[in-house]
Amino acid sequence: MNRLIKSALILLLLAILIEFLILKSPEDPRRQDISPQEKIKSVKGNILDDEGKLIYSGFLTKPGIQWDFDALKSKWNKRYRFKEWEFYAIHHENVTISFGIANFHYVASVFFTVYEKGSIPQYHQKLILPNEELTLAKHPLNGKTIYESGNYKVDFKNRDNKFKHLELKFDDKLELSLDVFKKTDDSMASLTPFNSDGSNFYYTYKDYNNYISGKVTAFGKVYDFSDRIGMIDWGRGVWPYHSFWIWGSGQGKIGPNSAIGLNIGEFMFSPISKATEDCVFLDRTMYKLGNFITSYPKDLSQPWEFKTTNQHPTDEYGSASIIFYPEIKSIFASNFWLIQSHFDQAFGVFEGNITTRDGEISFKARGLVEVHHTRW
């Protein structure tokens, strides 16, 4: 046999063996248990121990966590497993604008989406290579996130734990300058270990019902925002190679002056995770919700159903029954063998009922849902 063909066959066989013996997907990544929704009373010092393992499991309603990733001693984890992002979304009547920056350390990116009801979502991404200078804030409410290269500029600044000023320039496609004012008393910060020793984990911080004002110019069209609402999703973690999540995020009005922000999150099963990040923000108050069971259809443009495992509220967490009606779905799939991502996202409207210790509300909120399976 020709030498070349022989080597190619050996390589192929090796790849198949690696695929099935080493890289094979976990059977069912979805969480099957009911979370106790444990609230962490207080956090002292770094959330990581000296070996870079997460020492807490649960959620917190106040920010102020110390997070020092110098504790991540493993070079492998720092370079290949460590993921950071900062993401903002504004759902404004018929328009959704979201943008952010993500750093996976072997590669990073700045990205945005503009979705106008009745048209195709416009998604753009610019890769940032590891040799480029990039600063990400070490805390969701203070510090700076900075990147600049040619016609691209990210300048996110925090002031006083209450104000942010966000500037983003993305080639000739998008330019924005926004002030963000944190209105809520409480936030959702969740600390989730993904494995039993906490060496894989996720720390996420979310705030909804922020006041937004400023201007966005996207594809030549100007959006003037004053007193709009927006959300931030800020995360840091050491993720497993096979990762999975479901996320639902909605924002709307209940009554003339009241805002609602809905956050639904499911990560892959973890043996020691003690809380989900499921919650609702009603004006200034964040209410924890019990964990959602998400049923999504094969055809993602059909309605999705979200129900908490508890049918009634407790003093600690509320209950909910919500349907999401998609308007449009997008599928982003990339496959570079070792690094793969399958990302389904849909924009639309949440509609349902939430009951907390303070009463029941019916609501409608615009937003998005997504299911992400990845090898990274």
Which residue ranges make up the site for ligand NAG (CB under 6 A)? 93-94, 321-323, 352-353, 362
Nearer to ligand NAG by Cβ, of 150 and 256: the residue is 256
Comparing CB distances to ligand NAG, the nearer of 94 and 135 is 94
How many helices and strands (H and E) does the chain possess?
2, 21
Q: Are 124 and 141 in contact (CB under 8 A)?
A: no
The single residue listed with the structure tokens 């009922």 is 353
Q: How far apart are CA 104 and CA 84, in angstroms?
A: 6
CB of 13 to ligand NAG, least distance (A): 52
Nearest-approach distance from CB 70 to ligand NAG, in angstroms: 46
Closer to ligand NAG by CB, 348 or 352: give it: 352
- Looking at the Cβ atoms of 42 and 362, the one nearer to ligand NAG is 362
Alpha carbon distance, N-terminus to C-terminus of the chain: 37
Whole-number Å distance between alpha carbons of 264 and 322: 11
Q: Are 317 and 269 in contact (CB under 8 A)?
A: no
Q: Which is nearer to ligand NAG, 345 or 355 (CB)?
A: 355
Q: Which two tokens stand for residue 331?
A: 């599928």
Q: How far is the CB of 320 from ligand NAG (least distance, A)?
A: 8
- Minimum separation from the CB atom of position 117 to ligand NAG (A): 6
In terms of CB distance, is 55 or 323 closer to ligand NAG? 323
Minimum CB distance to ligand NAG, residue 321 (Å): 3
Cα–Cα distance, 84 to 255 (Å, whole number): 36
Write the DSSP assignment of 52-118 as a string of letters: S-B---EEESS---B--GGG---HHIIIIIEEEEEEEEEEETTEEEEEEEEE-SS-EEEEEEEEETT
Tokens of 278: 């499921």
Beta carbon of residue 95, minimum distance to ligand NAG (angstroms, whole number): 7
The closest alpha carbon to 277, from 257, 247, 304, 321, belongs to 247
Three-state SS string over 168-203 comes to: EEECCCEEEEEEEECCCCCCEEEEEECCCCCCCEEE
- 61: Cα separation from own chain's centroid: 17
Q: How far is the CB of 259 from ligand NAG (least distance, A)?
A: 17
Residue closer to ligand NAG by CB (options 97, 322) is 322
Residue nearest to ligand NAG (CB): 321
Q: Output the furthest CA–CA distance in the chain (Å, rounded).
A: 77
Which of the 8 DSSP states describes residue 49? -
In the bound complex, what is the minimum distance in angstroms from residue 92's beta carbon to ligand NAG?
8
**104/363 with CB nearer ligand NAG:** 363
